[in-house]
């Protein structure tokens, strides 16, 4: 199996690093020179990784072609390609529809969309795939876990959830800065918050039979500090703000798909 990546950003880097660590049977991985620093670092990891300075060469040599360019660059980059008959395409480009990718590429092969997260580099990522494909699912299962959905509405909903990364880091920074305001050093406060959320994530991963709400209650002593923290957050509009943010991102994604 030969894989090719056009666009060498954070997600491409994570996937390639994960593939090199995994036991997925890949013969060769083509990556584009953009960005040069990332592509050269990936090439140094394994002889399987080959850096190409021509996108067409990647398209010509790949059994599965991954598109990972910026949405605003997608049409110009994809339209310039000549895709071989039967080549599978996996788009990692947010908000760009399969119909547009097919029209721009002229491809007659299967086209999929996927939402991998950076943690695929450590083989712990959960990646969403639409439409379902046993082959693409097997690859992403090698990088953690694959979730296949059967409708674009389901896929778009996961795309909304994937936008939580900024919110997570922003919330972590807010509490870290509050700790600093109380006289604590930033490195210590940051380490404390990162460790706390890591431990909670480990608990959630291990407790798959329990809802997050059940875990919240189980970690909140009645009348205790954890119960108070969530109650005030909710009363001050915290949960409503999160719901509004999800709705806003969902509207943007739907608008881009229909536009």
**25-64 residue pLDDT tens:** 999 999 998 778 888 999 999 999 999 989 999 999 999 9
pLDDT band, residue 8 (cuts 50/70/90): confident
Alpha helices in the chain (DSSP H): 10-21, 36-43, 55-61, 74-79, 98-105, 134-141, 152-162, 164-181, 186-206, 212-218, 225-235, 238-258
End-to-end CA distance of the chain: 35
Burial 85-122 (b: 16+ CB within 10 A, else e): eebbbbbbbbbbbbebbbebbebeebbbbbbbbbebbe
pLDDT digits (tens, 9 = 90+) for 61-98: 999 999 999 999 999 999 999 999 989 999 999 889 99
pLDDT at 231: 97
DSSP secondary structure, 46-74, as one string: -TTEEEES-HHHHHHH-SEEEE---GGGH
pLDDT band with cut points at 50, 70 and 90 for residue 257: confident
Characterise 86 by phi-psi region: left (phi > 0), alpha (psi -120 to 50), beta (else): left
pLDDT more than 90, % of the chain: 90
- Cα 125 from Cα 59, distance rounded (Å): 26
Distance CA 66, CA 93 (A): 9
What pLDDT is recorded for position 255?
87
Arithmetic mean of pLDDT over the chain: 94
Two structure tokens written together for 85: 């008959």
Report the pLDDT value the prediction gives residue 33, as an integer from 0 to 100. 86
Tokens 């460790």 belong to residue: 195
Domains and CATH numbers, the chain: 2-151 (3.40.50.720), 164-258 (1.10.3730.10)
Q: What is the pLDDT of residue 259?
A: 63
* pLDDT for the residue numbered 34: 73
- Segment 141-194, tens digit of pLDDT: 999 999 999 999 999 999 999 999 999 999 999 999 999 999 999 999 999 999
Provide the percentage of residues in the chain whose pLDDT is more than 70.
100
């Amino acid at each position: 199996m030969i894989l090719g990546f056009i666009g060498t950003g954070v997600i491409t880097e994570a996937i390639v690093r994960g593939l090199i660590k995994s036991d997925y049977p890949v013969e060769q991985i083509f990556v584009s020179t953009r960005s040069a620093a990332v592509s050269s670092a990936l090439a140094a990891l394994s002889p399987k990784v080959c850096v190409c300075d021509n996108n067409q060469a990647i398209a010509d040599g790949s059994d599965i072609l991954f598109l990972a360019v910026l949405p605003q660059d997608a049409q110009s980059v994809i339209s310039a390609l000549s895709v071989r008959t039967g080549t599978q395409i996996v788009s990692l480009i947010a908000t760009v529809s399969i119909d547009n990718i097919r029209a721009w590429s002229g491809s007659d092969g299967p086209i999929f969309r996927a939402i991998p997260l950076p943690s695929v580099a450590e083989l712990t990522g959960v990646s969403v795939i639409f439409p379902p494909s046993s082959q693409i699912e097997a690859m992403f299962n090698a990088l953690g876990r694959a979730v296949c959905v059967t409708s674009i509405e389901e896929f778009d909903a996961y795309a909304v959830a994937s936008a939580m990364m900024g919110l997570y880091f922003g919330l972590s920074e807010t509490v870290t800065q509050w700790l600093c305001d109380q006289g604590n050093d930033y490195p210590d406060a940051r380490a404390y918050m990162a460790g706390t959320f890591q431990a909670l994530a480990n608990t959630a991963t291990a407790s798959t039979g329990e809802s997050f709400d059940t875990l919240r209650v189980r970690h909140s002593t009645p009348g205790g500090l954890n119960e108070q923290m969530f109650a005030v957050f909710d009363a001050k509009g915290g949960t409503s703000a999160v719901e509004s943010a999800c709705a806003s991102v969902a509207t943007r994604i739907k608008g881009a798909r229909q536009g």
